[in-house]
A and B are shown apart, each in its own frame.
Chain A
Amino acid sequence: MRQGSSPERRPRGAAFVIAAGLAGLAVMLLVDAAGLRQDGGYAGVGPADVPRIVAYGLLVLAGLTVLAGVRGDLPRPPRQAPAPVLWILGGLGLQLVLLHVVGFVLSGALLFGMTARAFGQRPLWKNVAVGLVLALVIYGIFDRLLRLNLPGGPLEMLIFRG
């Protein structure tokens, strides 16, 4: 229920992108279903049928979305600031790449720091330092006490196993 959508009636490019995405998903389902061995048994309905039904549903919805787009029938989002989004995605991406190299604590600290930066908190190094403390505490509680298996790196080795 986000506010700020103005009911302007003109064709909306976003609707076509969304419709294309839905149709793409439907095609993926159909292609995959075509490759499955149909083993319906007594039901006459095998593993490929429900994905097909879902795909047809998606195609219909994609068509209706195009129609809604032509009529301008899609909420217009308020203006977005792109920089914070990139900071957060960057933090998540770095964590994905670095997780098994430097461990949960360091990659988590970077994610925390970059997210805080996205919300306007500076300087970055200070954010990362706060994140480091928090991630260490979380690692201590969840990996050591609750036996959740979090990937460790050199830092975890140094502090918890040294």
Chain B
Amino acid sequence: MDSFSLLMQGLVTAMQPMILLYALIGVTLGTAVGVLPGIGPALTVALLLPVTYGLDPAGSLIMFAGIYYGGMYGGSTTSILLNTPGESASIVTAIEGNRMAKAGRGGPALATAAIGSFVAGLIATLLLAFLAPQVVKLALTLGPREYFALMVLAFVTVSATFGDSALRGLTSLFIGLALACVGIDGLTGAARLTYGVPQLMDGIETTTLAVALFAIGEALAVAAMLQPPDGMHKIKGSVRMTATDWSRSWKAWLRGTFIGFPIGSMPAGGADVASFLSYAAERKLTKHPEEFGTGAIEGVAGPEAANNAAAAGTLVPLLTLGLPTTATAAIMLAGFQQFGLQPGPLLFVMNAELVWGLIAALLIANVMLVILNLPLIGLWIKLLSIPRPWLYGGILLFATLGTIGVNPSPVELGMLILFGVMGYGMRLYGYPVAPVVVGLILGPMAEQQLRRALAIAQGDWTTLVATPVSATLLGISAVFLVVPMLMRLRGRGQVLSQVAGDPD
């Protein structure tokens, strides 16, 4: 059956009232967390994992994906109005968007961000639908060594390629890999690093680690800051875009989409990288170079389209290969596993209805999001008037709720505090947090593939580079590791540090 008819069947699944409700909850929550500072999509999905344990798998996964999409929409609002990005992929939007808001053009900036996100989300989700079956066909030919090589590539790009220091990125990754060793070994049943504590047998809970690093670490860091944050710009005038705004925006939207989608779908960094590259492209191609730095609409339209397209793109490796390339995708993978589903080529065969329902639901979610974000923008801005003490008090209460819900033991809460302090320390000294989470989730999978590959080859390590595919992938990983290091050594590292892969 071809993609089109599968997608149509998916739409039938997705039109069920309950599924629509899950999608609506997802996009609403996603927009809210995108708008609120201090919580991003990765944290929200982590918090919801324990809550959805008893719910419908398809509905829950659609809700998670809705949160991811919604976070990308909502993040632009705070970037433009407050100059404090709600999530990392909107950092670039703040550059031009906040200038536009200062000049009283906040309305059109919000509009071009929302419509750009819609256009990009629509095109990218359709691309996902048509690309995924092809990747699945390819994925079926891959063996353990190729999977291992793919995971190495993901490790490198998540930790070492972007950001301002390969050393700190790799350190974060290895902390995650070390934490991943805790628990029962999947292949032999040996208990590693459990020290006789029964709670450690199952390994370190993804929820606990992610919530501690993202919520508690962030709350500590924000609370300890001495300088007060910026004030908010009111939207003056109309939200409507003028004819010139439209004609300047639409090309930027399309360019952003076609920059964002491939970057998201390759294991090469997430939405933040895409939005930065799109900004750079718009800046080069613009007919109004004098406006850049003072509020150019292309500088908002392009990156916002790019980060939504990249979010859709990350679903390609996640669904077809089981390979997460961002923290949010990593936690969504934990969500699939919670329901006993393993993303990868087999998912498209065994759970075809679920996968296509999910993809189709994203198309619908996208329509919901543009409605939520354009006419109802005023409602979201009101969220920003929640005083910070109440906001962070609530975040911490929910953070501990997630952990207590999984396992109400002092050991679990102790780990939450320990990792929270670690997250605070990492923020202080510029260590990225996302590689720890990706290391924890991807680490055991990479270990299994490595040991399977070696078992097939009877312990011969050269098997890892014995096929062209695995050798090429490992070669690319080496390039992604070494080239950025050389760039930093020669003092050209600023470009990379601006693309720093932060939380989401």
Say whether A104 contacts B404, CB under 8 Å: yes
CA distance A77 to B404 in the complex (A): 32
Cβ of B259 under 8 Å from chain A: no
CA distance A42 to B451 in the complex (A): 9
Say whether B51 contacts A148, CB under 8 Å: yes
B residues contacting the other copy or chain, number (CB 8 A): 67
Tell me how far the C-beta of B380 lies from the nearest C-beta in chain A, rounded to whole angstroms: 21
> In the assembled complex, which residues on chain A have CB atoms less than 8 Å from the CB atom of B187?
47
Say whether A47 contacts B192, CB under 8 Å: yes
- Give B347-393 interface residues, CB cut-off 8 Å to A: 387-390, 392-393
CA distance A45 to B456 in the complex (A): 12
Known: A45-B450, A96-B417, A147-B54. A121 touches B190 (CB 8 A): no
Cβ of A158 under 8 Å from chain B: no
Say whether B459 contacts A50, CB under 8 Å: no
Residue of B nearest to A22 (CB): B171
Say whether A1 contacts B404, CB under 8 Å: no
CA distance A25 to B456 in the complex (A): 32
A residues contacting the other copy or chain, number (CB 8 A): 80
> In the assembled complex, which residues on chain A have CB atoms less than 8 Å from the CB atom of B427?
2
- Give A64-82 interface residues, CB cut-off 8 Å to B: 64-65, 68, 74-75, 77-82
> In the assembled complex, which residues on chain A have CB atoms less than 8 Å from the CB atom of B219?
88, 115
> In the assembled complex, which residues on chain A have CB atoms less than 8 Å from the CB atom of B397?
108, 111-112, 115, 131, 134-135, 138
Say whether A18 contacts B429, CB under 8 Å: yes
> In the assembled complex, which residues on chain A have CB atoms less than 8 Å from the CB atom of B458?
42-44
> In the assembled complex, which residues on chain B have CB atoms less than 8 Å from the CB atom of A75?
429-430
Say whether B404 contacts A46, CB under 8 Å: no
> In the assembled complex, which residues on chain B have CB atoms less than 8 Å from the CB atom of A43?
451-452, 454-455, 458-459
CA distance A41 to B456 in the complex (A): 11
> In the assembled complex, which residues on chain B have CB atoms less than 8 Å from the CB atom of A18?
171, 429
Cβ of A6 under 8 Å from chain B: no
**Given B51, B394, B456, which contacts A142 in the complex, CB threshold below 8 Å?**
B51
> In the assembled complex, which residues on chain B have CB atoms less than 8 Å from the CB atom of A81?
223-226
Cβ of B79 under 8 Å from chain A: no
Cβ of A51 under 8 Å from chain B: yes
Say whether B224 contacts A85, CB under 8 Å: yes
Residue of B nearest to A109 (CB): B397
CA distance A123 to B455 in the complex (A): 64
Say whether A96 contacts B175, CB under 8 Å: no
Say whether A146 contacts B416, CB under 8 Å: no
> In the assembled complex, which residues on chain A have CB atoms less than 8 Å from the CB atom of B430?
2, 5, 74-75
Cβ of B496 under 8 Å from chain A: no
A118-129 vs B, Cβ < 8 Å mask (1 yes, 0 no): 111100000100
Tell me how far the C-beta of A71 lies from the nearest C-beta in chain B, rounded to whole angstroms: 11
**Given A1, A48, A55, which contacts B500 in the complex, CB threshold below 8 Å?**
A1
Please, could you name 19 A-B residue pairs with CB atoms under 8 Å apart, sorted by A?
Answer: A25-B175, A36-B192, A42-B456, A45-B451, A51-B178, A57-B174, A78-B225, A84-B220, A89-B421, A112-B393, A115-B223, A117-B389, A127-B393, A130-B393, A131-B397, A134-B394, A134-B397, A138-B397, A148-B401
Tell me the A residues contacting B by CB distance below 8 Å.
1-2, 5, 14, 18, 22, 25-26, 28-29, 32-33, 36-37, 39-48, 50-51, 54-55, 57-58, 61, 64-65, 68, 74-75, 77-82, 84-85, 87-89, 91-93, 95-97, 99-100, 104, 108, 111-113, 115-121, 127, 130-131, 134-135, 138, 142, 146-151
- Chain A to chain B: the 4 pairs with minimum beta-carbon distance, closest first: A44-B459, A121-B389, A84-B223, A116-B389
